[in-house]
């Protein structure tokens, strides 16, 4: 999942997240990335009101905003911390890091 899922035009991905997260007893099988250097997560602008205009670049430090969006879409059982942990565990498994 990239930061583009936070855009209002991307409803299909939100439906996929809800489907993947419907059983909180099962792991959430996703990876989080940034689409760097473009496509800054849209919800970042809500949390940093001092930012004027659009940020020109995206980087891995913005992944928590993507995780926050996933958490909000996935439901009560999925905190931001849990989404981050699941994604980190999945990345370790997939990439062997």
Q: Name which residue leads in pLDDT, 55 or 84.
A: 84
Query: Which residue ranges make up each domain of the chain?
Result: 3-95
CA distance 22 to 34: 24
pLDDT one-digit tens code per residue, 19-56:
999 999 999 999 998 777 888 888 887 777 666 677 76
Provide the Cα torsion 28, 30, 31, 34; round to 10°. -110
pLDDT at position 50 = 66
pLDDT at position 44 = 82
pLDDT at position 66 = 92
pLDDT at position 51 = 67
pLDDT at position 18 = 93
CA distance 22 to 87: 16
């Amino acid at each position: 999942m990239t930061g583009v899922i936070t855009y209002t035009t991307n409803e299909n991905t939100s439906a996929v997240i809800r489907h993947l997260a419907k059983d909180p007893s099962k792991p959430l099988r996703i990876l989080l990335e940034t689409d760097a250097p473009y496509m800054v997560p849209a919800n970042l602008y809500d949390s940093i009101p001092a930012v004027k205009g659009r940020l020109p670049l995206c980087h891995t430090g913005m992944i928590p905003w993507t995780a926050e969006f996933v958490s909000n879409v996935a439901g009560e059982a999925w905190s931001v911390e849990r989404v981050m942990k699941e994604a980190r565990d999945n990345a370790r498994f997939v990439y062997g890091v």
